[in-house]
Amino acid sequence: MYAWMQLSSSADLAQLANAIPTEYDAATVAQTLSGGISDAVKAILIESDYVDKDYRSTYYNFYAKKGQRYRNDCVRLHFFDRTVSFDADKLAPSCADRELNNHYFGYMVLRPTGVATIGRTVLSPDIRRGAGRLIITANHKVHLLGYRFEIHGFPWMNQHVDISVCAHAACWSILRHYSERYNVYREFLTHDITMMAHEFNPGGLVPSRGLQMAHAERVFQEAATFPVHIARSKDKSADPSFYRQMIAYVESRFPIFAAMSSRRHAVAIVGYEWLSALNTGAPRLRFAWDALRSLAVVDDNFLPYMSISTTADAPRSAKDYSAEDIDSLIVALPEKMFYPADAVDRLGPALFKLGAVVGLPPRDNTIIRYFITTGSALRSFVREKAGEFDPRLLTTIMTIPFAQFVWIVEFATESQWARGVVEARAVIDATASLTEAMPLWLFHGQAAALVFDRKTVGQITDGVGVLTLVPAGHTGFTRMERNLRATQAK
Amino acid sequence: MDDKNDAAHKVSQGLMPIDPSVLKEFLREMNDTVIPEIQKAVEERRLLAAESRQWQLKC
Contact with chain B for residue A282, Cβ under 8 A: no
A77-81, A438-442, B4-8: the lowest-pLDDT one: B4-8
Residue B5 pLDDT exceeds 80: no
Residue B58 lies in a domain: yes
**End position of a domain, from candidates A279, A307, A336:** A336
Residue A204 pLDDT exceeds 80: no
Which residue of B18, B33, B48 is in closest CB contact with A233? B48
Residue of B nearest to A231 (CA): B49
Whether residues A36 and A100 share a domain: the answer is: yes
Q: Answer whether A353's CB lies under 8 Å from B29's CB.
A: yes
Which residue of B31, B37, B45 is in closest CB contact with A437? B31
**Chain A residues touching B14 at Cβ < 8 A:** 392, 467-468
Whether residues A74 and A100 share a domain: the answer is: yes
Question: What residues does A104 pair with on adjacent strands?
Answer: A80
Instruction: Give the pTM.
Output: 0.94
Q: How confident is the model at residue B1 (pLDDT cuts 50, 70, 90)?
A: very low
Residues A56-66 have a mean pLDDT of: 93
Whether residues A107 and A237 share a domain: the answer is: no
Contact with chain B for residue A391, Cβ under 8 A: no
Q: How far is CA B24 from CA A127, A395, A446, B18, in A?
A: 56, 28, 23, 10
Residue A207 lies in a domain: no
Residue A315 pLDDT exceeds 70: no
Coil, strand or helix at A79: strand
Are B17 and A466 within 8 A, CB to CB?
Answer: yes
Residue % of chain A over a pLDDT of 90: 84
Whether residues A368 and A346 share a domain: the answer is: yes
Residue A387 pLDDT exceeds 80: yes
Q: Answer whether B5's CB lies under 8 Å from A318's CB.
A: no
Residue A143 lies in a domain: yes
**Chain A residues touching B51 at Cβ < 8 A:** 231
Residue A190 lies in a domain: no
Residue of B nearest to A329 (CA): B49
Whether residues A322 and A396 share a domain: the answer is: no
pLDDT of A455 reads 81
Helix axes A341-350, B35-52, angle to 10 degrees: 150
> What range defines the domain where residue A11 resides?
2-149
**Chain A residues touching B48 at Cβ < 8 A:** 231-233, 328
Which residue of B29, B37, B39 is in closest CB contact with A353? B29
Sign, Cα dihedral of A92, A98, A101, A103: negative
The whole-angstrom separation of Cα B45 and Cα A247 is 17
Whether residues A135 and A6 share a domain: the answer is: yes
Residue A318 pLDDT exceeds 70: no
Q: Answer whether A206's CB lies under 8 Å from B48's CB.
A: no
Residue B23 lies in a domain: yes
> What range defines the domain where residue B47 resides?
18-59
pLDDT, tens digit, for every residue of A274-305? Answer: 998 887 778 899 999 999 999 999 999 999 99
Chain B, 23-42: which have a CB under 8 Å from a chain A CB? 23, 25-27, 29-31, 33-35, 37-39, 41-42
Residue A206 lies in a domain: no
Whether residues A9 and A113 share a domain: the answer is: yes
Q: Answer whether A271's CB lies under 8 Å from A258's CB.
A: no
**Chain A residues touching B6 at Cβ < 8 A:** 453, 462
Residue A390 lies in a domain: yes
Residue B57 lies in a domain: yes
Contact with chain A for residue B3, Cβ under 8 A: yes
Whether residues A357 and A306 share a domain: the answer is: no
pLDDT of A199 reads 82
Domain count, chain B: 1
**End position of a domain, from candidates A302, A336, A370:** A336
**End position of a domain, from candidates A97, A115, A149:** A149
Average pLDDT, chain A: 93
Chain A, 189-228: which have a CB under 8 Å from a chain B CB? 208-214, 216-217
Whether residues A44 and A110 share a domain: the answer is: yes
The whole-angstrom separation of Cα A377 and Cα A373 is 6
Whether residues A452 and A465 share a domain: the answer is: yes
Contact with chain B for residue A264, Cβ under 8 A: yes
Residue A183 lies in a domain: no
What are the two backbone dihedrals, phi and then psi, of residue A235, each rounded to the nearest 5 degrees?
-90, 95
Q: Answer whether B24's CB lies under 8 Å from A477's CB.
A: no
Domain count, chain A: 3
Whether residues A312 and A326 share a domain: the answer is: yes
Taking the CA of residue B29 and the nearest CA in chain A, the distance in Å comes to 7
**Chain B residues touching A392 at Cβ < 8 A:** 13-14
Residue A142 lies in a domain: yes
Whether residues A317 and A376 share a domain: the answer is: no
Residue B9 lies in a domain: no
pLDDT, tens digit, for every residue of A411-429? Answer: 999 999 999 999 999 999 9
Contact with chain A for residue B5, Cβ under 8 A: no
Residue B43 lies in a domain: yes
Write the single-letter amino acid at A182: Y
Residue B40 lies in a domain: yes
Residue B22 lies in a domain: yes
Residue B33 lies in a domain: yes
pLDDT of B59 reads 72
